[in-house]
């Protein structure tokens, strides 16, 4: 017995050592690779690899644009890094821009973050004017948003989010209101006050357990976005406390909250998503093009054909993105060329028909495939027509580096009114003190 | 320990490679060894051997210290330096000296105090029941029973679950309109509770995630310590007519004191740094609810640094948390000395 154990021992030990060595080697190479990760990654045959950093389902890959480009340019290889949440994505992008390392050749920028890039970090980005990229086909406000104080265009628009009002035609009918989209648009045409008036009528005869709209925060967003000056003025100063837009939007949102017209939701919470599946409300006052797929996914096939889309009394832009080329990249020229191609009218039109991302290029908006688009889920609503009408009315408002923080602070305040029954005055005081704290350097 | 090793393996005077020399002589094929060279080689070998004994322990522990310096000490010092400056996350290399202002402003910062209070209350309502339950469960698992291994593994599964998955499930359970808990409460006639909005309800919900995740872990630690208690103590106690409860109180608990202190320290550190559970419970935002009702210090730090982009202020919060932990550590140290002194008297 003993001798067999002995004889077994040596090879055992050797394998142990081999394993230990293997682990050490793997760890070491892993670490070294992690340290030197952003070195040039071109293959020997002169092929250039371009990395594109995006968040969420950005659509480029899903719509097959990379494959198309690689076919047109065999010398280019495109790889995409995607992070699901923009919150995580932007935190990483900020850190990397701060350190000027680890950046992809092209980076996506959400509209909520474009102002901090033009305002605080314009030099980290390539100026597309220098490379003679044609920006005349974009909606003017989209170019304005990506232009810094020196007139450099640091990013190109991908999609935008012209808003409509999404509503449940079946609930409107049950409440004794007109339900076809022309008449409903007509009902709202007088402005947000008329939208709320319709809500009062709706509440009188509403089907059981169905609120008029989802959230006070959604109401606020719908109203405030249609103004030219919101949180930040032309000079870049924070003016939310005195701005007419914020005051009007706050008052109207408090109105719907206090009258019990909302389902007391917080937008983009899990519960909000589930409320779609459970048909808990009849309208979404600020319903941009990209939200259609969110509603479709969450409301599910059971509710197909029940939703419809009406014109907003004051359309605005909510969301949409940009792509920029960081100065730190190794292949700036190739990246600029790819960025220009990805945002060209043809590709934007394709993103709309394939992925429902509404083009920020006016030329793409007027293309036939976009104009004639309809959405079967939303009772065959002519979404191309509706959103291009809305896009034409989107104001060009100055956006500030802290707009997102301010909007989130105000939405939190409205939640206090809507869900916790706090008075509007004390909720507003809360908003101001929390934003004072958040904005203090 | 080290002296033992040195004594145990002295270099043989003829060089440490005796077996190989043996082989050579048996084979008898190699050239005759030059005595001077052999001697130099032996010296070199023994010198190497001495160095090996002397320095290789440092070599073996150095990876930890290299990593600690790179990922522990350096960030700590850098954070301390940044906390004395006004720094934007976007331009971390442009620092503007502000002295201790980032610290002194915390004194008047109602949001900091609120986060501190929340951290404290969530810490209490998650740690105390968690450790009490773990102690009870460990006591039960310590009995001889069928399938005890199964129970032990089952205990540890929540610990092995990722925070994200756990928090996701819990935030669904605690949903206002469509959550399972409110549905169950509705069966007994209780109206829907908006768990996320209330101060206590949200903190209770966050604590329940913490309790669910960590009870099993602490149970196993207690169980291990219980199994180290000599059986004769229980035998003599039962001979003296002590009931199970009396045995638990007078034998198990005193023997577990150091272990309990250890788990309390570890849980306190965990509670002070609580971050993932409240963040994911709130749907991924760092605000900890509309009113900051479940915003912990960790979340406040993150919000200040990565949402509001004030890296200097965030660093000051981080250092305050660090100092807080040092104070708590000192308190425990004093307590543990008192405990060991009193248990020494009992023995």
Backbone angles phi, psi at B269, to 5 degrees: -60, -45
Which pLDDT belongs to residue B46? 87
Q: Hey, are the CB atoms on A275 and B172 less than 8 Å from each other?
A: no
The residue among B229, B219, B141 whose CA lies nearest residue B237 is: B229
**Residue A330, number of CB atoms within 10 A of its CB:** 16
Residue A327 and residue A178 in contact, taking contact as beta carbons nearer than 8 Å: no
**Residues present in chain A in total:** 441
Interface probe for A, chosen from B172, B196, B290, B306 (most Cβ of A below 10 Å), is: B290
B175 touches chain A (CB under 8 A): yes
Q: What was the pLDDT predicted at B12?
A: 47
Strand A211-213 vs strand A76-83: parallel, antiparallel, or unpaired?
Answer: unpaired
Smallest Cα distance from A232 to chain B, Å: 16
CA distance to partner chain A, nearest, from residue B124 (Å): 25
- For the stretch B102-119, what's the b/e string if a residue is b when 16 or more beta carbons lie within 10 angstroms of its beta carbon? bbeebeebebbebbbebb
> What pLDDT score was predicted for residue A220?
97
Query: Are residues A376 and A356 in contact, defined by beta-carbon separation less than 8 angstroms?
Result: no
Q: How many angstroms separate the CA of residue B92 from the nearest CA in chain A?
A: 6
Which one of A97, A121, A270 has the shortest CB-CB distance to B283?
A: A270
Decide if B129 contacts B210 (C-beta within 8 A): no
A288 closest CA partner among A351, A356, A230, A229? A356
* CA separation, residue A300 to residues A272, A284, A286, B16 (Å): 14, 16, 20, 77
How far is Cα B281 from Cα A212, in angstroms, rounded to an integer?
27
Between CA A135 and CA A338 the distance in angstroms is: 14
- B254 to chain A, closest Cα gap in Å: 41
Burial of A71 (0-12, 13-18, 19+ CB in 10 A): exposed
Per-residue pLDDT at A32 = 44
What integer pLDDT is reported at residue B19 of this predicted model? 47
Q: CA A155, CA A317: separation in Å to the nearest integer?
A: 18
Digit-by-digit pLDDT tens for chain A (441 residues) are 333 333 333 444 455 555 555 555 544 444 444 444 444 445 556 789 999 999 988 889 999 999 999 999 999 999 999 998 888 899 899 889 988 889 999 999 999 899 999 988 999 999 999 999 999 999 989 999 999 999 999 999 999 999 999 999 999 999 999 999 999 999 999 999 999 999 999 999 999 999 999 999 999 999 999 999 999 998 889 999 999 999 999 999 999 999 999 999 999 888 999 999 999 999 999 999 999 999 999 999 999 999 999 999 999 999 999 999 999 999 999 999 999 999 999 999 999 988 889 999 999 999 999 999 999 999 999 999 999 999 999 988 888 989 999 999 999 999 999 998 899 999 999 999 999 999 998
**Given this model, what pLDDT does residue A222 score?**
95
Length of chain B: 347
Q: How far apart are CA A40 and CA B227, in angstroms?
A: 57
Average pLDDT over all residues of chain B: 86
pLDDT at residue B216 tops 70 = yes
**How large is the C-alpha radius of gyration of chain B?**
29
B300 pLDDT higher than 50:
yes
The dihedral through the CA atoms of A181, A183, A187, A190 has a sign that is positive
Locate the chain B residue with the closest alpha carbon to A271.
B175
* Backbone angles phi and psi of A400, in degrees to 5: -110, 165
Inter-chain contact B290–A87, Cβ cutoff 8 Å?
no
CA neighbor of B60 nearest in space, from B8, B9, B2: B2
Question: Taking CB atoms and an 8 Å cutoff, what residues of chain B touch A99?
Answer: 92
Digit-coded pLDDT (tens) for B33-77: 678 888 888 888 888 888 888 898 899 999 999 999 999 999 999
What was the pLDDT predicted at B340?
74
Whether A87 and B284 lie within 8 Å, measured CB to CB:
yes
Min Cα distance B137 → chain A (Å) is: 34
**Could you report the per-residue pLDDT of B307-331, keeping only the tens digit for each?**
899 999 999 999 999 999 999 999 9
Angle at B105 between CA B104 and CA B107, to 5 degrees: 75
Residue pLDDT, tens place only, B151-167: 888 888 999 888 888 88
Q: Which of B110, B290, B308 sits opposite A412 (nearest CB)?
A: B290
Contact across the interface for A412 and B291, Cβ inside 8 Å? yes
Q: How far is A143 from chain B (nearest CA, A)?
A: 23
CA B33 to chain centre: 58
Q: Which residues of B touch A441 (CB under 8 A)?
A: 86, 310
Buried b vs exposed e over B2-15: b needs ≥16 C-beta within 10 Å? eeeeeeeeebeeeb
- The residue in chain A having the minimum alpha-carbon distance to the alpha carbon of residue B171 is A270
Between residues B244 and B320, the one the model is more confident about: B320
pLDDT digits (tens, 9 = 90+) for B180-203: 999 999 999 999 999 999 999 999
At residue B10 the predicted structure's pLDDT band, cuts being 50, 70 and 90, is very low
Would you call A207 helix, strand, or coil by DSSP?
coil
Give the per-residue pLDDT at B325.
93
Q: Is B283 left (phi over 0), alpha (psi -120 to 50) or beta?
A: left
- State residue A18's pLDDT score: 54
Residue of A95, A269, A281, A300 for testing the chain B interface, max B β-carbons within 10 Å: A269
- Backbone region of residue A128 per phi and psi (left: phi > 0; alpha: psi in -120 to 50; beta: other values): alpha
Residue A53, strand partner residues: A81, A107
Instruction: Give helix A192-204 / helix A216-224 axis angle, nearest 10°.
Output: 150
Residues pairing with A213 in the sheet:
A262, A283
Strand, helix or coil at A322? Answer: strand
Separation between Cα atoms, residue B174 and residue B181, nearest integer Å: 6
Residues B250-278: pLDDT tens digits?
989 999 988 998 999 999 999 999 999 99
Which chain A residue is nearest to residue B88, measuring alpha carbons?
A: A441
Contact across the interface for A274 and B177, Cβ inside 8 Å? yes
The chain B residue lying nearest A99, using CA atoms, is: B92
Residue A87 and residue A55: Cα distance in Å, rounded?
Answer: 9
Is it the case that residue B3 has pLDDT exceeding 60? no
The chain A residue lying nearest B169, using CA atoms, is: A270
């Amino acid at each position: 017995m003993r001798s067999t154990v002995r004889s077994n021992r040596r090879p055992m030990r050797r394998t142990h050592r081999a394993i230990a060595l293997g682990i050490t080697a793997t760890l070491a190479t892993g670490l070294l690779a992690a340290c030197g990760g952003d070195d040039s990654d071109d293959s020997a045959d002169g092929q250039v690899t371009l990395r594109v950093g995006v968040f969420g389902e950005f659509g480029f890959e899903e719509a097959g644009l990379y494959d198309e480009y690689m076919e047109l340019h065999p010398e280019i290889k495109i790889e995409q890094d995607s992070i699901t949440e923009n919150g995580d994505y932007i935190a990483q992008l900020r850190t990397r821009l701060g350190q000027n390392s680890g950046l992809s050749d092209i980076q996506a920028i959400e509209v909520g973050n474009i102002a901090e890039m033009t305002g605080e970090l314009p030099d980290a980005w390539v100026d597309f004017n220098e490379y003679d990229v044609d920006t005349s086909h974009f909606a003017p406000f989209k170019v304005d948003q990506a232009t810094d104080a020196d007139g450099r265009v640091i990013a190109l628009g991908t999609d935008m989010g012209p808003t409509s009002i999404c509503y449940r035609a079946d609930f409107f009918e049950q409440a004794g209101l007109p339900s076809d989209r022309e008449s409903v648009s007509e009902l709202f045409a007088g402005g947000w006050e008329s939208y709320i008036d319709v809500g009062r009528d709706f509440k009188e005869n509403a089907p059981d357990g169905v609120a008029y709209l989802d959230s006070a925060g959604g109401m606020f967003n719908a109203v405030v976005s249609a103004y030219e000056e919101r949180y930040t003025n032309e000079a870049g100063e924070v003016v939310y406390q005195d701005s007419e837009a914020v005051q009007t939007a706050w008052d109207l949102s408090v109105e719907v909250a206090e009258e019990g017209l909302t389902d007391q939701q917080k937008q983009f919470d899990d519960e909000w998503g589930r409320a779609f599946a459970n048909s808990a409300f009849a309208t979404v006052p600020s319903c941009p093009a990209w939200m259609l797929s969110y509603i479709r996914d969450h409301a599910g096939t059971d509710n197909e054909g029940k939703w419809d889309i009406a014109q907003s009394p004051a359309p605005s832009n909510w969301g949409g993105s940009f792509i920029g080329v960081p100065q730190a990249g190794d292949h700036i020229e190739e990246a600029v060329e790819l960025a220009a191609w990805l945002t060209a009218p043809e590709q934007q039109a394709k993103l709309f028909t394939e992925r429902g991302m509404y083009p920020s290029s006016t030329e793409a908006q007027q293309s036939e495939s976009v104009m004639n688009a309809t959405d079967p889920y939303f009772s065959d609503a002519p979404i191309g027509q509706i959103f291009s009408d809305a896009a034409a009315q989107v104001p060009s408002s100055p956006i500030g580096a802290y707009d997102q923080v301010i909007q989130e602070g105000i939405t939190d305040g409205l939640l206090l009114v809507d869900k916790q029954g706090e008075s509007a005055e004390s909720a507003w005081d809360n908003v101001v003190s929390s934003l004072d704290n958040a904005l203090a350097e | 320990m080290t002296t033992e090793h040195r004594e145990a393996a002295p270099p043989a005077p003829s060089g440490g490679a005796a077996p190989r020399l043996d082989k050579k002589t048996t084979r008898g094929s190699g050239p005759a060894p030059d005595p001077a060279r052999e001697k130099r080689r032996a010296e070199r070998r023994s010198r190497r051997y001495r160095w090996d004994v002397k320095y290789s322990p440092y070599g073996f522990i150095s990876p930890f210290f290299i990593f600690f310096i790179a990922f522990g000490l350096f960030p700590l010092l850098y954070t301390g330096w940044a906390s004395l400056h006004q720094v934007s996350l976007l331009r971390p290399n442009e620092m503007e000296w502000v002295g201790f202002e980032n610290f002194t402003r915390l004194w008047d910062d109602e949001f900091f105090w609120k986060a501190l209070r929340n951290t404290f209350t969530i810490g209490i309502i998650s740690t105390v029941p968690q450790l009490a339950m773990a102690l009870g469960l460990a006591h039960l698992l310590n009995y001889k029973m069928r399938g005890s291994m199964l129970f032990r593994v089952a205990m540890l599964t929540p610990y092995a679950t990722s925070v994200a998955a756990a928090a996701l499930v819990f935030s669904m359970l605690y949903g206002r309109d469509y959550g399972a808990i409110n549905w169950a409460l509705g069966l007994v006639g209780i109206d829907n509770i908006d768990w996320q909005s209330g101060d206590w309800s949200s903190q209770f919900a966050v604590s329940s995630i913490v309790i669910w995740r960590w009870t099993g872990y602490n149970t196993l630690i207690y169980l291990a310590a219980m199994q180290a208690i000599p059986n004769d103590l229980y035998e003599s106690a039962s001979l003296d007519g002590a009931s199970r409860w009396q045995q638990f109180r007078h034998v198990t608990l005193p023997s577990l004191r150091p272990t309990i202190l250890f788990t309390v320290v570890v849980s306190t550190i965990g509670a002070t740094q609580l971050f993932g559970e409240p963040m994911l419970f709130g749907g991924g935002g760092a605000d900890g609810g509309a009113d900051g009702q479940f915003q912990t210090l960790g979340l406040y730090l993150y919000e200040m640094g990565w949402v509001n982009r004030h890296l200097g202020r965030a660093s000051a919060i981080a250092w305050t948390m660090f100092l807080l932990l040092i104070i708590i550590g000192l308190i425990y140290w004093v307590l543990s000395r008192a405990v060991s002194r009193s248990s020494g008297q009992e023995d």
